[in-house]
């Protein structure tokens, strides 16, 4: 079965640079979430999109932005990178709630960002 | 207030034994979902099991079962017949039915499980 696809899997950037992470949700899933997991931390919610519109916003820095495109893929853009942005970034997706498994959220394998 | 509490930072179990990972939650919403995820050292977040607040029976998925005690607001994960490959970090998470209908997951701090031969 198709899963959530994230790219790149690993990314090394220097301070003050910009990084873009991509996410392709499971087909027919209409909600996409972005999470950030720092070393030894639990995942923290950043932002979500429902049907290509921003639906909820968490602890996302102003330097970060995200959008969901017409094909439902999403991109997380991070500018003016700081050392503290080094983390594992997850994208997750969930189907419309009317489906039998509508309450399950599936995660991608994550994108490791290292800022040096 | 902490929404999800996992009080066991680490747990040890011998291979083939059963282990229970604790999770308590806090919500005033009557409609919510509880999830357990496994995160091995490679980093991916693997969905294990889900329990809805209105589900009458405890969820089971193979060797995983969820001991759901609604009145106590607990949703403990039971792994039967532990295997070496079960060694990982385990996260309990909750999804609330927000007024907006858009439901994000909130995670606990996790429990690291180590299975020994």
Tokens standing for residue A34 = 């972005």
pLDDT at residue number A55: 84
pLDDT higher at A99 or B45: B45
Q: Determine the Cα–Cα distance for residues A44 and A17; give it in Å rounded to an integer.
A: 22
- Cβ contact (<8 Å) for A112 and B44? no
pLDDT at residue number B98: 60
Statement: residue B51 has pLDDT above 60: yes
> Under 8 Å CB-to-CB from A59, ≥6 apart: which residues?
A44, A45, A46
- Cβ contact (<8 Å) for B102 and A50? yes
> Under 8 Å CB-to-CB from B6, ≥6 apart: which residues?
B21, B22, B23, B91, B92, B108, B109, B110, B111
Tokens standing for residue B19 = 């282990």
* Contact criterion met (CB below 8 Å) for A93 and A25: yes
Q: Write the pLDDT tens digit of every residue in A2-26.
A: 799 999 999 999 999 999 999 999 9
CB atoms within 10 A of CB B109: 17
| Local confidence band at B101 (pLDDT 50, 70, 90 cut-offs) | low
Q: Determine the Cα–Cα distance for residues B36 and B49; give it in Å rounded to an integer.
A: 6
Strand B46-52 vs strand B32-39: parallel, antiparallel, or unpaired? antiparallel
Shortest distance, CA A104 to any CA of chain B (angstroms): 7
Helix or strand holding residue B89 (H, E): strand B88-96
Tokens standing for residue A76 = 């997380």
Percentage of the residues of chain A whose pLDDT score is greater than 90: 76
Q: Which of B33, B91, B104 sits opposite A48 (nearest CB)?
A: B104
- Cβ contact (<8 Å) for A45 and B104? yes
For A103, the closest chain B residue by CA position comes to: B33
Q: Which of B35, B50, B107 sits opposite A42 (nearest CB)?
A: B107
Percentage of the residues of chain A whose pLDDT score is greater than 70: 94
What's the mean pLDDT in B23-47? 92
Statement: residue A101 has pLDDT above 80: no
* Contact criterion met (CB below 8 Å) for B89 and B39: yes
Report phi then psi at B84, rounded to 5. -55, -35
A112–chain B Cβ distance below 8 A for any pair: yes
């Amino acid at each position: 079965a198709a899963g959530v696809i994230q790219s790149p899997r690993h990314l090394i950037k220097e301070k003050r640079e910009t990084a873009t992470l991509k996410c392709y949700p499971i087909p027919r899933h209409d909600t996409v979430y972005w999470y950030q997991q720092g070393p030894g931390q639990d995942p923290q919610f950043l932002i979500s999109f429902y049907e290509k519109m921003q639906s909820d916003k968490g602890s996302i820095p102003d330097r970060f932005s995200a959008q969901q495109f017409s094909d439902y893929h999403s991109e997380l853009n991070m500018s003016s990178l700081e050392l503290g942005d080094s983390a594992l970034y997850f994208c997750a997706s969930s189907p419309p709630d009317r489906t039998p498994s509508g309450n399950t959220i599936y995660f991608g394998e994550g994108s490791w960002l290292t800022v040096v | 207030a902490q929404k999800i509490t996992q009080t066991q930072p680490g747990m040890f179990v011998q291979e083939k034994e059963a282990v229970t990972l604790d999770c308590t939650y806090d919500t005033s919403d009557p409609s919510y979902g509880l999830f357990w995820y496994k995160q091995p050292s490679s980093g991916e977040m693997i969905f294990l099991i889900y329990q809805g607040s209105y589900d009458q029976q405890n969820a089971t998925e193979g060797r995983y079962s969820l001991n759901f005690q609604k009145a106590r607001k607990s949703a403990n994960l039971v792994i039967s017949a532990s295997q070496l490959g079960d060694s990982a970090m385990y996260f309990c998470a909750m999804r609330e039915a927000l007024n907006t209908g858009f439901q994000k997951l909130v995670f606990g701090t996790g429990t690291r499980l180590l299975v020994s031969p």
